[in-house]
């Protein structure tokens, strides 16, 4: 996947002949009088008039994020969020000591990051589902926070003297304000930025508040869009000039293969969660500083992390710290959800469709693949080739022996608190507004968006789909009267041959772009999008192969035995689980690399009410393979895939591959058999 910065429609950096070819391929659509192509640059006066946008002197974002509640989940996505509400997210603060007596809600317990982390997922989940029980729960947390403001602008528990958890709490309060318009939340945010303005910079590189200081810029820009107060930007500038230089690190990346082999020098700069947050930081600085190294920095981050530490399912390794590309190295769940939020911010800033492609891969693979389908247990570390989840010594960089258990608090509780933001924030960012008063489908999933377009008329777009399991998407438009506005559809880079229909016209958009359809929309209009999901392969560690279809990775379906290690509640099903394989895992695939679809039979079924169930996977790929007896466990994990092509005298076996997110045990990087 190419992560060079490309701008809104990828025209900006095309060569002249490429632009002409693209225009030529689309000219018949122009002639139809219904669609036109818009250059990436926006005229100064062309900004969205309905939602808060960047004000001078900030660089204008390519898209405009919508307020919490504008996009609501539907279909299987609503089922998934409901599972989350009925699982750990909806009950965690009722029994987990880190939250049940939290100082953030007036107790005497934890006063640091865990309360704000939890709220960063609970608040959007409650308002997306409009769940009365969760809304009451939110109130029990938010009211003490709103009452905690001090005369100097500090807020939160008196026991806390650290700025880091307040950066997370700011994100909570901004979402809460969007959903409720409660002026008290805006006041707390304003006053805290006055505190930062009036007190010396305190962002040391050795502490969390220093390496994560630029998380404050997310809320700083949010606040500036609403107030225009120049002191907020001055404070933002002081922050980025007095904290860790992530841009320099990403553009001159030190954590290469040689560093990985040494396994020395672990610390904040190679910490998986710090990196997940920091991926967005150069882009955030660029919005204010307008300097090219910052514009490039976030893309360099993704390129370098992929090159030296990339893993299947869209993540990079970090079994607390970066640890290379071996498919048995882990990734902390916090790193996944923070990477997702970074991408959501960068998509708004740069409008690059490749970033949205990557967001979907994380959301639909790594995010569910590290939780049980009922959302009552999670891992600290997930693996691409994960064949045994037990308390045992593994080749982690620094994590403990329990890190790949599924449970309440395996290894450490930060993920227990922070995991909840993944699904709700993803749903909130499925759609964004555009500066030509239109709407953009940034990522796909069943949803309903109700937003203002054109001259301010409200339009509701209902998206019906089983995506990412299938590639057919149907958009239904509802409004009071006819209205003209552009509707942008993201065409993923893998979707060659995509077709769309609107107003009786069949359109053939190019892959890897945002494709605009502008017309006089009528109440009841339907737009369809068909994204071909061809089987494709990806070369991985030791020449192993991964199988992909659409945004999904597919993994070997291994029959799983769950062994309960510990229960945490008398009535709630929260426990720690070890998982053992009861069917073999060490297979090489018989696959035609040139025509992989010829080697695969695809079977589909409707998405169940438990979308990432192991037994009811919506897509099953039937393939052939042979066991490789020499491929065995090493350090209680699957050893490195034998370099291929490999030879086996074992009988040919029928195998099933299911989506990565539907597995707890899995092989995702397979040796390839010799023909």
Taking residues 289-315, report their average pLDDT: 98
Residue 364 has pLDDT above 50, yes or no: yes
Q: What is the pLDDT of residues 565-612, one digit of tens each?
A: 999 999 999 999 999 999 999 999 999 999 999 999 999 999 999 999
**What is the rounded distance in angstroms from the CA atom of residue 333 to the CA atom of residue 366?**
8
Predicted local distance difference test score (pLDDT) of residue 264: 85
Residue 26 has pLDDT above 60, yes or no: no
Percent of the chain with pLDDT over 90: 92
Taking residues 536-561, report their average pLDDT: 98
Helix (H) or strand (E) holding 560: strand 560-567
Q: Quick one: pLDDT band at residue 225, thresholds 50, 70, 90?
A: very high
Predicted local distance difference test score (pLDDT) of residue 1: 56
Residue 372 has pLDDT above 70, yes or no: yes
Predicted local distance difference test score (pLDDT) of residue 675: 80
Helix (H) or strand (E) holding 170: helix 164-180
Predicted local distance difference test score (pLDDT) of residue 48: 98
Taking residues 60-65, report their average pLDDT: 98
Predicted local distance difference test score (pLDDT) of residue 36: 29
**What is the rounded distance in angstroms from the CA atom of residue 59 to the CA atom of residue 56?**
7
Token digits of residue 113: 């990051």
Cis amide leading into 235 (omega within 30)? no
Residue 483 has pLDDT above 60, yes or no: yes
> Which residues make beta-bridge pairs with 452?
458
Q: C-alpha angle 259/263/265, rounded to 5°?
A: 80
Mean pLDDT, the chain, whole residue set: 94
**What is the rounded distance in angstroms from the CA atom of residue 181 to the CA atom of residue 111?**
26
Residue 378 has pLDDT above 80, yes or no: yes
The pTM for the full model equals 0.94
Q: Quick one: pLDDT band at residue 34, thresholds 50, 70, 90?
A: very low
Predicted local distance difference test score (pLDDT) of residue 2: 56
Predicted local distance difference test score (pLDDT) of residue 28: 30
Residue 386 has pLDDT above 90, yes or no: yes
Taking residues 462-482, report their average pLDDT: 98
Compute how many other C-beta atoms are within 10 angstroms of the C-beta atom of residue 652: 12
Q: What is the pLDDT of residues 252-288, one digit of tens each?
A: 999 999 999 998 899 999 999 999 999 999 999 999 9
Domain spans, the chain: 16-47+440-465+472-530, 74-244
Residue 23 has pLDDT above 70, yes or no: no
More confident residue, 329 or 11: 329
Predicted local distance difference test score (pLDDT) of residue 247: 98
> Among 41-50, 184-193, 395-404, 413-422, whose mean pLDDT is lowest?
41-50
Predicted local distance difference test score (pLDDT) of residue 45: 56
Residue 549 has pLDDT above 70, yes or no: yes
**What is the rounded distance in angstroms from the CA atom of residue 31 to the CA atom of residue 329?**
53
Taking residues 449-475, report their average pLDDT: 98
Q: Quick one: pLDDT band at residue 39, thresholds 50, 70, 90?
A: very low
Q: What is the pLDDT of residues 486-512, one digit of tens each?
A: 999 999 999 999 999 999 999 999 999
Taking residues 115-141, report their average pLDDT: 98
Q: Give me the long-range contacts of 154-163 (CB less than 8 A, separation at least 24).
A: 154/192, 154/195, 155/188, 155/191, 155/192, 156/104, 156/111, 157/103, 157/104, 157/111, 158/103, 159/103, 159/111, 160/103, 160/111, 160/112, 162/112, 162/208, 162/209, 163/202, 163/203, 163/209, 163/213
Predicted local distance difference test score (pLDDT) of residue 8: 44
Predicted local distance difference test score (pLDDT) of residue 25: 36
Q: Give me the long-range contacts of 476-482 (CB less than 8 A, separation at least 24).
A: 476/524, 476/525, 476/526, 477/521, 477/522, 477/523, 477/524, 477/525, 477/526, 477/527, 478/523, 478/524, 479/521, 479/523, 480/523, 481/457, 481/523, 482/520, 482/521, 482/522, 482/523
Predicted local distance difference test score (pLDDT) of residue 3: 54
Taking residues 84-103, report their average pLDDT: 97
Q: Are 53 and 64 in contact (CB under 8 A)?
A: yes
Q: Quick one: pLDDT band at residue 22, thresholds 50, 70, 90?
A: very low
Predicted local distance difference test score (pLDDT) of residue 263: 83
Q: Give me the long-range contacts of 455-464 (CB less than 8 A, separation at least 24).
A: 455/483, 456/49, 456/50, 457/481, 457/483, 459/483, 459/485, 459/521, 461/431, 461/487, 462/74, 463/74, 463/430, 464/74, 464/75
3-state DSSP call for residue 445? coil
Q: What is the pLDDT of residues 621-630, one digit of tens each?
A: 999 999 999 9
Check whether domain 16-47+440-465+472-530 has CATH 2.60.420, yes or no:
yes
497 DSSP assignment? T
Percent of the chain with pLDDT over 70: 93
Residue 387 has pLDDT above 50, yes or no: yes
Among candidate residues 167, 227, 159, the one with its CA nearest the CA of residue 195? 167
Token digits of residue 519: 């017309």
Q: Are 251 and 296 in contact (CB under 8 A)?
A: yes
Taking residues 422-450, report their average pLDDT: 98
Compute how many other C-beta atoms are within 10 angstroms of the C-beta atom of residue 410: 26
């Amino acid at each position: 996947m190419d992560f060079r910065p490309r701008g809104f429609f990828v025209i900006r950096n095309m060569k002249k002949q490429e632009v002409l070819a693209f225009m030529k391929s689309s000219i018949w659509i122009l002639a139809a009088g219904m669609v036109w192509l818009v250059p990436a640059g926006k005229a100064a006066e062309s900004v969205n008039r309905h939602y808060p946008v960047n004000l001078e002197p900030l660089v204008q974002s390519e898209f405009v994020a919508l307020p919490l509640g504008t996009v609501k989940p539907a279909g299987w996505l609503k089922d998934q969020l409901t599972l989350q509400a009925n699982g750990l997210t909806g009950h965690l603060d009722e029994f987990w000591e880190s939250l049940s007596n939290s100082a953030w809600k007036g107790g005497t317990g934890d006063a640091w990051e865990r309360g704000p982390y939890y709220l960063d997922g609970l608040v959007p989940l409650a308002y997306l589902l409009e769940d009365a029980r969760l809304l009451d729960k939110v109130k029990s947390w938010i009211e003490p926070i709103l009452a905690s403001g001090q005369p100097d602008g500090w807020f939160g528990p008196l026991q806390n003297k650290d700025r880091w958890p307040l950066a997370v709490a700011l994100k909570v309060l901004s979402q809460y304000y969007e959903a409720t318009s409660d002026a008290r939340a805006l006041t707390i945010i304003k006053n805290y930025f006055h505190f930062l303005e009036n007190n010396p910079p305190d962002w040391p590189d050795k502490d969390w508040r220093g390496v994560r200081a630029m998380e404050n810029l997310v809320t700083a820009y949010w606040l500036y869009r609403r107030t225009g107060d120049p002191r907020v930007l001055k404070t933002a500038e002081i922050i980025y000039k007095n904290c860790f230089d992530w841009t320099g690190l990403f553009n001159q990346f030190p954590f290469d293969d040689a560093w990985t082999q040494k396994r020395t020098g672990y610390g904040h700069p190679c910490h998986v969660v710090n990196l997940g947050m920091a991926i967005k930081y150069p882009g955030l600085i660029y919005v204010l500083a307008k300097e090219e190294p910052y514009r490039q920095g976030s893309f360099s981050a993704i390129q370098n992390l992929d090159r030296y530490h990339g893993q299947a399912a869209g993540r990079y390794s970090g079994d607390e710290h970066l640890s290379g590309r071996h498919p048995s190295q882990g990734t902390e769940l916090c790193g996944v959800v923070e990477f997702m939020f970074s991408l959501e911010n960068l998509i708004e800033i740069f409008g690059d469709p490749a970033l949205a492609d990557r967001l979907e891969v994380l959301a639909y693979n790594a995010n569910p693949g590290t939780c049980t389908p009922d959302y009552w247990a999670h891992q600290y570390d997930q693996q691409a080739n994960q064949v045994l989840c037990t308390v045992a010594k593994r080749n982690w960089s620094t994590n403990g022996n329990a890190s790949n258990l599924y449970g309440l608090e395996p290894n450490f509780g930060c993920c227990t608190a922070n995991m909840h933001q993944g699904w709700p924030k993803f749903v909130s960012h499925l759609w964004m507004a555009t500066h030509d008063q239109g709407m953009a489908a940034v990522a796909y999933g069943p949803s309903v968006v109700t937003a203002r377009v054109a001259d301010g008329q409200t339009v509701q777009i209902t998206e019906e789909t089983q995506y990412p399991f299938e590639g057919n998407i149907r958009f239904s438009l509802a409004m009071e009267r006819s209205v003209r506005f552009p509707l942008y559809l993201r065409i993923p880079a893998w979707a060659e041959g995509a077709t769309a229909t609107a107003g009786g016209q069949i359109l053939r958009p190019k892959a890897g772009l945002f494709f605009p359809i502008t017309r006089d929309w009528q109440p009841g209009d339907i737009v369809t999008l068909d994204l071909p999901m061809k089987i494709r392969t990806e070369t991985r560690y030791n020449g192993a192969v991964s199988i992909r279809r659409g945004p999904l990775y597919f993994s070997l379906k291994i029959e799983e035995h769950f062994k309960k290690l510990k229960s945490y509640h008398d009535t709630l099903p929260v426990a720690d689980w070890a998982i053992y394989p009861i069917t073999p895992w060490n297979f090489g695939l018989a696959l035609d690399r040139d025509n992989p679809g010829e080697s695969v039979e695809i079977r589909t079924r409707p998405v169940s009410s438990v979308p990432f169930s192991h037994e009811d996977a919506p897509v099953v790929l039937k393939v052939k393979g042979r066991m490789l007896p020499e491929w065995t466990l090493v350090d209680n994990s699957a050893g490195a895939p034998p370099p291929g092509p490999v030879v086996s005298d074992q009988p040919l076996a029928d195998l099933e591959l299911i989506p990565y997110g539907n597995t707890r045990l899995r092989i995702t990087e397979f040796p390839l058999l010799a023909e």
